[in-house]
Amino acid sequence: MSARAIAFAAAALLWVAPPARAAGATVTVGHNRIEPAKVSIHKGESVTFHNVDEMPGGHTIVADDGSWKSPPLKKDESFTRKFDKPGTTTIHIEQHPTAKGEIDVQ
């Protein structure tokens, strides 16, 4: 195989390589549930919380340490937050305090 053919084959392989995986994570929020309950991301990535259940007053995602909260999310609404610092953040649903989650930022 000529060098040119090898270079062409390499380029073709690069062309069909899948794109880098989407950064961050998506979490489903519902009545009394956060799924998955634990997600891992890298610093600078975002987590999107997608509320799938109808609830009077909505579902609000709250950091346990009180540092941030989402607006109340109606059904099919989402909230995205970027995490710039490594560490663990525990969260819960304001309307369902027993529904807990964890975001690990590496």
Q: Which of 25, 15, 32, 28 is nearest to 81 (CA)?
A: 25
Structure-block tokens of residue 90: 């525990």
Residue 74 as a binder of Cu ion (CB under 5 A): the answer is no
Region binding Cu ion by CB under 5 A among candidate stretches 6-14, 23-31, 44-52, 80-88: 23-31
- 53 in Cβ contact with 83 (< 8 Å): no
Residue 55 as a binder of Cu ion (CB under 5 A): the answer is yes
Nearer CB in complex with Cu ion: 30/83: 30
Binding site for Cu ion (CB under 5 A): 31, 55
